[in-house]
Amino acid sequence: MAKKAQVTWGGRFSSAPADLMLRFSESVSFDSRLAPFDIQGSKAHSAMLAHVGLITKKERDAIHTGLDAILVEIEAGKFVWETRLEDVHMNIEQALTKRCPAAAKLHTARSRNDQVATDMRLYFKAACSDIFVQLDAAQRAILSVAEAHADVLIPGYTHLQRAQPVYLAHHLLAYLEMLQRDAERIVLVADHANWCPLGSGAIAGTTLPIDREFTAKTLGFVDAKGKPRVTQNSMDAVSDRDLFIEFASACALIGVHLSRMAEDMILWASQEFKFVELPDAFCTGSSLMPQKKNPDSMELIRGKSARLQGNLHTLLVLAKGLPLTYNRDLQEDNPPVFDSHDQTALCLAVLAGTISGMEVHRVRCAAAVADPALLATDLADYLVRAGVPFREAHHAVGAVVKLAEESLLPINQLPYDEVKRVHPAIKPDWVESFDLAKAMARRTGTGMPGPAQVKRQLARWNKLLG
Ligand code: ARG
């Protein structure tokens, strides 16, 4: 049986939506999160309406008082969200209507389309600054571990095979570079969010004499000089979801970075490496095997990074092929964005917590890096310094490596008499190439893992992070 249409848009309807349709189409279960931004937007909008004379100052004040009271209720968890009212916008408007007659004028020259676009832009600014703060905290945590173990050397790996020695700090500072690029991306997303779509209406603006610049200014959508930034095409403004994709993309890339760090930690914490001991507080045990200590925090970061990529993909597919302008499909854009925000923030905090509590097994690191084969390239450089072309030097050192393997000796313990037969440029001082401290000190160029460079980088990061 047809129910009486009582919804906001019910004028042209003779029956209310089916309960199933209500359950299917509601978004308030997730977009209630936008309430503070929705209220901020409505206050600015009603201030503008009063400014241009579309409502009185008294009506504006009544609307503001009502919205403030509603926000207090929401924040106290006392507000009753009704699924029947579909979304955050209509829930708040209805609650306001119960408080003051002026509420009926709030939606003048506004549509939920430009309203939600505005809410989301305000949300993105806040979300970006939240992620920025978390990135910064994670960077600081990594930096302090790097500083606390500034003298520890480990093998660096390519193809997960021991390659060349590096300072542990140099390895950790690589993560800071990744997170720094992430922070720069997030700042860019926040800047892209900084345009006010309010006034675009449902699709084609309004015939009423609104002042878009006033609203933009009130909401802080301004450039560095304080000039209002308003979107320039009403159709684009209500259907543009680039920001959602940009934000999810920035989060997905943070996830990629965090999962790579997580993978390093998982390897380093294994019995096979044992470079580090992860804190108990971020590990779990086995219900069966009493000896187990599992790096779950790092594994979950690795796992959640898949989810972040999934969210990005959801948004890309959602927007693809949609005709202009607003389509209800777009309501599905909220959950992946909120999820990316929450999970990215959590992952960053967990990474910071795990790394901060990590212990470094200096003895194990020293044993691993003592492998003289790690400095085979330095022997080739020794030959280059003696005038040997690099390809020839590489070949000669390869032969020395083979000799060592065959005689089951560490490369630097091969007798000189045998080694010198490989190449005439190999002199008795050849073995100094395997002096780890000297080898590290030779790496003096910018970005290299020499001790002076690493020190300089630590100082740079200290300055950068303040
Ligand atoms: N909850 C809706 C969304 O997020 C608000 C916009 C509704 N607009 C509409 N034309 N039905 O997409």
What pLDDT, in 10s, does the model give residues 36-51? 999 999 999 999 999 9
Of the candidates 39, 31, 40, 90, the one whose C-alpha atom is nearest the C-alpha of residue 216 is 40
Mean pLDDT of 65-78: 98
Whole-number mean pLDDT of the chain? Answer: 96
pLDDT at 397 over 50: yes
- In contact, 150 and 167? CB cutoff 8 Å: yes
* Lowest-confidence region among 11-20, 46-55, 225-234, 349-358: 11-20
Query: So what's the pLDDT on residue 10?
Result: 75
CATH T-level topology, domain 22-108: Fumarase C; Chain B, domain 1 (1.10.275)
Query: So what's the pLDDT on residue 6?
Result: 59
Q: Which atom of ligand 1 is nearest to the CA of 326?
A: 10
Query: pLDDT digit string (tens) for 185-200?
Result: 999 999 999 999 999 9
Query: So what's the pLDDT on residue 2?
Result: 41
Ligand 1 close to Cβ of residue 112 (< 6 A): yes
pLDDT at 152 over 90: yes
Ligand 1 close to Cβ of residue 27 (< 6 A): yes
Catalytic positions: 159, 286
Two tokens, residue 173 = 């500072």
Two tokens, residue 355 = 């790394």
> Which three-class secondary structure string do you get for the chain?
CCCCCCCCCHHHCCCCCCHHHHHHHCCHHHHHHHHHHHHHHHHHHHHHHHHCCCCCHHHHHHHHHHHHHHHHHHHCCCCCCCHHHCCHHHHHHHHHHHHCHHHHHCCCCCCHHHHHHHHHHHHHHHHHHHHHHHHHHHHHHHHHHHHHCCCCEEEEEECCEEEEEEEHHHHHHHHHHHHHHHHHHHHHHHHHHCCECCCCCCCCCCCCCCCHHHHHHHCCCECCCCCECECCCHHHHHHCCHHHHHHHHHHHHHHHHHHHHHHHHHHHHCCCCCCEECCHHHCECCCCCCCCCECHHHHHHHHHHHHHHHHHHHHHHHHCCCCCCCCHHHHHHHHHHHHHHHHHHHHHHHHHHHHHCCEECHHHHHHHHCCHHHHHHHHHHHHHHCCCCHHHHHHHHHHHHHHHHHCCCCHHHCCHHHHCCCCCCCCHHHHHHHCHHHHHHCCCCCCCCCHHHHHHHHHHHHHHHC
Phi, psi (5° rounding) for residue 266?
Answer: -60, -45
Which residue's CA is the closest to the ligand 1 atom numbered 5? 112
Query: pLDDT digit string (tens) for 220-251?
Result: 999 999 999 999 999 999 999 999 999 999 99
User: Which amino acid, residue 435?
Assistant: D
Q: How far is the CA of 81 from the centre of ligand 1 (A)?
A: 17
Q: Are strands 276-277 and 161-167 parallel, antiparallel or unpaired?
A: unpaired
pLDDT at 395 over 50: yes
Query: So what's the pLDDT on residue 153?
Result: 98
Q: Which atom of ligand 1 is nearest to the CA of 202?
A: 10
Query: pLDDT digit string (tens) for 297-317?
Result: 999 999 999 999 999 999 999
Which residue's CA is the closest to the ligand 1 atom numbered 2? 331
Query: So what's the pLDDT on residue 4?
Result: 54
Q: Where in the chain is the domain with CATH 1.10.40.30?
A: 371-464
Ligand 1 close to Cβ of residue 337 (< 6 A): no
- In contact, 87 and 27? CB cutoff 8 Å: yes
- In contact, 239 and 202? CB cutoff 8 Å: no
Of the candidates 214, 177, 174, 202, the one whose C-alpha atom is nearest the C-alpha of residue 449 is 174
Which residue's CA is the closest to the ligand 1 atom numbered 12? 331
Instruction: Give CATH superfamily name and number for 371-464.
Output: Fumarase/aspartase (C-terminal domain) (1.10.40.30)
Of the candidates 67, 87, 117, the one whose C-alpha atom is nearest the C-alpha of residue 22 is 87
Ligand 1 close to Cβ of residue 330 (< 6 A): yes
Ligand 1 close to Cβ of residue 331 (< 6 A): yes
Q: How far is the CA of 371 from the centre of ligand 1 (A)?
A: 63
* Per-residue confidence band for 434, with pLDDT thresholds at 50, 70 and 90: very high
Q: Where in the chain is the domain with CATH 1.20.200.10?
A: 113-366
Q: Which residues contact 175 (CB under 8 A, 6 or more apart)?
A: 142, 257, 261
d(CA 228, CA 216): 6
Ligand 1 close to Cβ of residue 266 (< 6 A): no
Task: Work out the angle at residue 225's Cα, subtended by the Cα atoms of residues 222 and 230, and round it to the nearest 5 degrees.
Answer: 30
Query: So what's the pLDDT on residue 1?
Result: 39
Query: pLDDT digit string (tens) for 85-122?
Result: 999 999 999 999 999 999 999 999 999 999 999 999 99
Say how many C-beta atoms besides its own lie within 10 A of residue 362's C-beta: 14
Q: Give the predicted TM-score (pTM) of the model.
A: 0.95
CA 83 to chain CA centroid, Å, is: 32
* Per-residue confidence band for 5, with pLDDT thresholds at 50, 70 and 90: low
- In contact, 49 and 55? CB cutoff 8 Å: yes
Q: How far is the CA of 91 from the centre of ligand 1 (A)?
A: 13
Q: Where in the chain is the domain with CATH 1.10.275.10?
A: 22-108
Does CATH place domain 113-366 in 3.30.9.10?
A: no
Query: So what's the pLDDT on residue 7?
Result: 64
User: Where on the phi/psi map is residue 444: left (φ > 0), alpha (ψ -120 to 50), or beta?
Assistant: alpha
Two tokens, residue 426 = 């190999």
Mean pLDDT of 205-222: 98
Which residue's CA is the closest to the ligand 1 atom numbered 7? 112
Ligand 1 close to Cβ of residue 120 (< 6 A): no
Query: So what's the pLDDT on residue 47?
Result: 98
